[in-house]
Amino acid sequence: MKKACFSVFIALLLALVMCATGLALDSTLPEATPYVDYSSDRSAIFFNTQGYNQTVFFDFFYPFDPPLNVVVNNPIAQYTLDYPTYDDDGVLMVALDDLEKLYAPWLDFALADDALLVRHTTYTKDVVSGNGGRTPLIDYQKTVWEASISLSGNVMEVVKTPYEVIQMTTNRNIEALDAPDAVKLEETAYTFELDRSVTLRDGVYYLPCASFMTALGKDAVNEDGYLTVRTYVPHLRASTTEFGIAGLAEVEYGEADLASTSHPLLSRSHEGMTWGQYMDGVLDGSIADGYLWGAFYVGTEMLYTGELAENPDDIGENDPQVETVVNRVIPYCLYI
């Protein structure tokens, strides 16, 4: 009964956001989205390779605001892809639309002159001091990958452009990261051979996920039935084994841990499990209660402004609305 209730809830939630249909490809890349400190930054996406080809999981930092406490990956959220992945002789192929949503708003695509154009932007945050406080001192660094892939081949031409580190307390001068006068460091140009060519399948473009994301600076590894695509995050640790929650601000940091299915899950309702065990349990139905995290994509929505319609007879559905661009995968928690 609990599992059925959860399934019904998910179905209703997805029905509300079915506006998240395929993303149209223009001939030019869209204007880059400025950075904001967001509450669900994540370090890894887990693509199941054992038959659950439309479900992925991702970690995100807890508590939600990473500049306040960049310490532990937790928890794991489940997300349903728009298009099923497929295996091409050992290479996992993932729909371009789904990759764009998973990394939104900082992964963009365009089609021009028989080539796929790509732009991926990352913002690394390294807590210098004050971790766990309200105003930690942080080194922010923006890096942009711009690439093109011929639709008739599998060679990816990439230019990586890092920017000068900007040190600031949380969110105090965040617009400086994307300002026109932001200082570029030395560019690096390289070619990268993808495991497969860009493939058009049932009207949807697919990319070889592991090699494509590796070309954009990620680390990709096959482990325990998942393709783990992960990003290095300074100081982000797999667990709090060596210290208590109350002592986070005094932690002496070593090397950060890259996300893995073997990480211990920090959960009040699923103690003693690894990430991999938890994900397997959610997929096979053996985990159907406790704190369950899901996620859904929100694109461009018409939202009410909070004001009332001028005509009293129109108050309600006819209240003023404004078009709002969210363009993010949003996590949520359900307790059963």
Q: What is the pLDDT of residues 292-331, one digit of tens each?
A: 889 999 987 777 777 777 777 667 777 777 777 788 998 8
Dist. CA 210–CA 215, nearest whole Å: 9
Token pair of 222 as six digits: 């096959």
Position 204 scores a pLDDT of 94
Q: Could you tell me the pTM of the whole model?
A: 0.82
pLDDT band (50, 70, 90) for residue 119:
very high
More confident residue, 264 or 76: 76
User: Contact at 8 Å (CB) between 192 and 158?
Assistant: yes
Q: Tokens 């021009």 label which residue? A: 112
**What are the tens digits of pLDDT across the range 142-173?**
999 999 999 989 999 999 999 999 998 866 78
More confident residue, 228 or 271: 228
Q: What is the band of 11 on the pLDDT scale with cuts at 50, 70, 90?
A: very low
Predicted local distance difference test score (pLDDT) of residue 45: 95
pLDDT band at 4 (very low <50, low <70, confident <90, very high): very low
- Which residue bears the tokens 């006819």? 318
Number of H helices and E strands in the chain, helices first, is: 4, 17
- Tokens linked to 99: 């990759």
Reported confidence tier of residue 64, pLDDT bands at 50, 70, 90: very low
The DSSP output letter for 173 is S
Task: Give dist(CA 42, CA 259) in Å, integer.
Answer: 10
Q: How confident is the model at residue 110 (pLDDT cuts 50, 70, 90)?
A: very high
Task: Please give the pLDDT value at position 260.
Answer: 87
Residue 332 has what pLDDT? Answer: 86
Query: Cα–Cα distance between 48 and 176 in angstroms, integer?
Result: 38
- Mean pLDDT over 266-286 rounds to 87
- 129 contacts 239 by C-beta, under 8 angstroms: no
Residue 271 has a pLDDT of 76
Residue 224: left if φ>0, alpha if ψ -120 to 50, beta else—which one? left
Contact 145, 119 (CB under 8 A): yes
Q: Please report the pLDDT score of residue 243 as a whole number.
A: 38
* Digit-coded pLDDT (tens) for 67-95: 444 444 457 899 999 999 999 999 999 99
Task: Indicate the pLDDT class of residue 40, thresholds 50, 70 and 90.
Answer: low
pLDDT score at 108: 95
* pLDDT number for residue 9: 42
Phi, psi of 291 (to 5 degrees): -85, 115
pLDDT in tens, 208-261: 999 999 999 999 999 999 999 998 776 665 554 443 444 444 444 445 568 889
pLDDT of res. 25 = 64
Q: Which of 129, 167, 177 is nearest to 33 (CA)?
A: 177
The pLDDT of residue 132 is 61
What whole-number distance in Å separates Cα of residue 314 and Cα of residue 177?
44
- Position 117 scores a pLDDT of 96
Q: Specify the DSSP element, H or E, that contains 87.
A: strand 86-88
Give pLDDT tens digits for 179-207. 999 999 999 999 999 999 999 999 999 99
- Is it the case that residue 279 has pLDDT exceeding 70? yes
Evaluate the omega torsion of the peptide bond into residue 208 and state whether it is cis, within 30 degrees of 0: no
**Model pLDDT, residue 30:** 87
pLDDT at 39: 60
As given in the structure block, the two tokens for residue 74 are: 């937790």
